[in-house]
A and B are shown apart, each in its own frame.
Chain A
């Protein structure tokens, strides 16, 4: 376990900034309730309060599986990949959202892309390839992905065309339970 280097922090924040604005990233760091921090452990980035981090620090590197919330991991090529578990922090601060109709929820939770026919609402001024949070119509966050089309294009799109590329969904908690972390 160690703090992220400047370079790693930059890569990580750049990825986060695709879903939540840099302003909100600052909110994650500067919290009024407690001191929170990001820590790197086994190439994974964990977000935890200082207290939990210090407690977890007592465990050997090999024995420690997880602490706090896992945001994602650094790939071997140095890129950052967000994990499903980060959704809890992404959803409240999300800038761009996509709402899925009840009939499309299941399809998305099975790991499929969001189709135009399943699209309920979309944030205005969503550009192409923008990181978006996928919500159900009752505002329950289901996962996140990348917009395949801008809001303008969505209006004219074919019902069977893909609107949002699937990246992660809460169904993963069941589907890939063993390899989640």
Chain B
């Protein structure tokens, strides 16, 4: 604070200029009064103020930082002034204000919860037109002349405290009727629990979709085929070697394992070794026996058959031949046929 005292030499009296002090004060603290041409909208419940006054572009452009700061301060002050207009409460050291109900409608954060899908009973009741009727919880028990619960613990129907039980006419006389009742109750509980769980399952999101998808659609859908492919993949790799040595059936495709990237030889690798690999493959091709199908087909099949049948008859006479033995015999005959039809390409 700037001291504005004046000292007169004559009487050494101190004269204080009050105006200047007040001015200095007002310079330090801005006024709580804010003037606006257009009244801002205030929603105290949300501590929200909407300033409708148009912005003066010239003032804004002169110094944008300061003018924005000014605007923000004024509006905050207005909001605080509005809060101070509300009735206050003293609570120990604090002053409390009860904010009114918010008037501005703010959008909901989360979507409205979906209605629960009906349980099986609710579905059935709706189909049959069964309406819920209000029934009291307590009913009058004729036996004991008291009011008892309609169901559950200590209910009218509770017969667990009976000391004697009737044996039905068609029942086994040596059967323990108490045990029967206990079992029946257990079963009822289990059935109810199962139904409850089923209702929960039905309520689960995926259940309906899955059910709808599987209903009335063939296995030729993309999803079904993907499932089959996955099953084949699993089967192929479910061996001790993780499918490395798994034999592939004639019509079966070797499926590529998911997540395993194939490694390709580098383009600028060793050309010599690459050539060596190529030569090896060509060599193997040269050595591979070529099955001459037309020649194999044109071989005299009658003679072969005759030999085979003769052989078969002979062996049958000697000992009983099992199915497996017969199979191996057949393979053998096929092999001989093939080997005679095989010709090495070199021969040509």
A22 and chain B: residue at smallest CB distance:
B286
A115–chain B nearest beta-carbon distance, Å: 21
On whether the beta carbons of B294 and A150 are closer than 8 Å, the reply is yes
Q: Which single member of B271, B285, B294 contacts A37 (CB below 8 Å)?
A: B271
* A-B interface contact total, Cβ < 8 Å: 66
Judge whether B277 and A9 touch: CB under 8 Å.
yes
> Would you call A21 an interface residue if the criterion is a C-beta within 8 Å of the partner chain's C-beta atoms?
yes
State which residues 289-316 of B face A: CB under 8 Å. 292, 294-295
Contact across chains for A5 and B282 when beta carbons are under 8 A apart: no
In contact, A30 and B267 (Cβ under 8 angstroms): no
**Closest partner residue, chain B, to A31 (CB atom):** B275
Interface string of A81-117 (1 = CB under 8 A from B): 0000000000000010000000000000000000000
A71: Cβ under 8 A from any B Cβ = no
| Contact, CB under 8 Å: A125 / B285 | no
- Among A10-18, A137-145, A161-169, A170-178, the stretch that binds chain B is A10-18
Residues B267 and A26 in contact, CB atoms below 8 Å apart: no
Are A29 and B275 closer than 8 Å at their CB atoms? yes
Q: How far is the CA of A13 from the CA of B280 in the complex (A)?
A: 11
* Identity of the chain A residue whose Cβ is nearest the Cβ of B272 in the assembled complex: A35
> Contact at A125–B348, with CB atoms within 8 Å?
yes
User: In the bound complex, how far is the Cα of B294 from the Cα of A127, in angstroms?
Assistant: 8
- Minimum CB–CB distance from A147 to chain B (whole Å) comes to 11
Q: What is the distance, in angstroms, from B281's C-beta to the closest C-beta of chain A? A: 5
Question: In whole angstroms, how far apart are the Cα atoms of A101 and B267 in the complex?
Answer: 45
Question: Contact string, B308-326, partner A, CB cutoff 8 A, digits 1/0?
Answer: 0000000000000000000
Give the interface size class of chain B: 20 to 34
- Bin chain A's interface residue count: 20 to 34
Q: Looking at B275, B277, B294, B348, which has the most chain A CB atoms within 10 Å of its CB?
A: B275
Q: Say yes or no for B240: interface residue by CB 8 A criterion.
A: no
Chain A residue with Cβ nearest B295? A127
Shortest Cβ gap from B76 to chain A (Å): 60
- Kindly state the separation between the CA atoms of A10 and B266 in the bound complex, as whole angstroms: 18
Which A residue's beta carbon lies closest to that of B265? A3
Q: Is A157 an interface residue (CB 8 A)?
A: no
Q: Quick check: B345 and A21 within 8 Å, CB to CB?
A: yes
Residue pair A9, B264 in contact (C-beta under 8 Å): no
Q: Does B348 lie within 8 Å of A95, measured CB to CB? A: yes
Identity of the chain B residue whose Cβ is nearest the Cβ of A41 in the assembled complex: B267
Q: Given A2-B267, A21-B286, A10–B281 Cβ distance below 8 Å? A: yes
Complex-state Cα separation, A26 to B267, whole angstroms: 21
Distance between Cα atoms of A128 and B292 in the complex (Å)? 10
Q: How far is the CB of A42 from chain B (nearest CB, A)?
A: 14
Quick check: is B259 within 8 A (CB to CB) of the other chain? no
- Asked if A38 is at the interface (CB within 8 A of a chain B CB), the reply is yes
Mask of B236-272 contacts with A, CB within 8 angstroms, 1/0: 0000000000000000000000000010111111011
Nearest Cβ distance between residue A176 and chain B, in whole angstroms?
29
Which residues of B are found within 8 Å of A39, using beta-carbon distances?
267
Neighbouring A residues of B345 by C-beta, 8 Å? 17, 21-22
- Could you list 25 examples of A-B contacts with CB < 8 Å? A2-B265, A3-B266, A3-B274, A6-B277, A6-B281, A9-B278, A9-B281, A13-B278, A13-B282, A13-B285, A17-B285, A17-B345, A21-B286, A21-B345, A22-B282, A25-B282, A26-B283, A29-B275, A30-B279, A35-B272, A37-B271, A37-B275, A39-B267, A50-B271, A128-B294
Closest 4 CB pairs of A and B: A22-B286, A22-B285, A25-B282, A3-B265
Which A positions have Cβ atoms within 8 angstroms of B?
A: 1-3, 5-6, 9-10, 13-14, 17, 21-23, 25-26, 29-30, 35, 37-39, 50, 54, 57, 95, 125, 127-128, 150
